[in-house]
Amino acid sequence: DLLVASHTDSRASDEYNITLSNNRAKAVTEYLGARGISADRVRLEWFGESQLINDCGNGKPCNEENHQLNRRSELVLEAFPDPTKQYDIPQELKDMDFCEPEDIFEKIQEEINDIPTIYFDFDKSMLRSVHKTELERTAIMLKRMPNLMLYIEGHTDQRGDEEYNKKLSERRAQVVKDYLKNRGVEDNRLESQWFGKTKPIHNCDEVTCTPAMHQLNRRTELRVG
């Protein structure tokens, strides 16, 4: 089944935004229904402006991008939503031992193998818009799976001196960690490290690197454990 949780930005009144988020949730249901997904398989929740991604309330200035991230509907698949109902176990899960952490972790790994790598502009540690969207999905996943840890590793390309790049990679790891903390992920579940230019994808000291190769070196890698 599918949970649809809809939200608004913090502009307009609370009452108006509750109604608007309800309408957004219904619009998603209608869209899914037109594509053959029965309404009884979709559960709706709506929150108005009570669960902002970016804190733009109480007159705080926010750019349009931050308001846009607040205007959203989050979709979450629920494997066994009704505790009173008997479910058939999918064929691919029948051989799993659900008492064995290794089996469960292996299945979780399959579900989260699309966790992003965050790339940066030269000499910068600011998040690109596309990666903010990816980190929103990562934050939702982590909040739905509270036993997971996230390991954050910052890197640079090989231009510049060692000490400078070490600090730059630290900032790149920290900006990702801060973003996820601001989305409600607990600090003790986020472990960050930074490596400067010591772990490149492409060793540009040995070959002449293209701009695309340098770009792949300027990154923060995420992995769960």
Q: Is the pLDDT of residue 88 over 70?
A: no
- Report pLDDT digits (tens) over 45-73: 999 999 888 888 777 788 888 888 899 99
Residues 55 and 124 in one domain: no
Give the whole-angstrom CA distance, residue 22 versus residue 32. Answer: 16
Confidence grade of residue 17 (pLDDT, cut at 50, 70, 90): very high
- Sign (positive or negative) of CA dihedral 201, 107, 184, 26: positive
More confident residue, 93 or 202: 202
More confident residue, 102 or 218: 218
Q: Which uninterrupted H or E stretch holds 191?
A: strand 190-194
Residues 60 and 150 in one domain: no
In a domain, 105, yes or no: no
Residues 53 and 159 in one domain: no
Number of domains in the chain: 2
Name the phi and psi angles at 72, rounded to 5: -155, 160
* Residue-level pLDDT at 27: 94
CATH number for 120: 3.30.1330.60
Residues 64 and 137 in one domain: no
- Domain range spanning residue 218? 110-224
Comparing CA positions, the residue from 56, 53, 54, 46 lying closest to residue 11 is 56
Residue identified by tokens 């490149």 is: 200
Residues 187 and 120 in one domain: yes
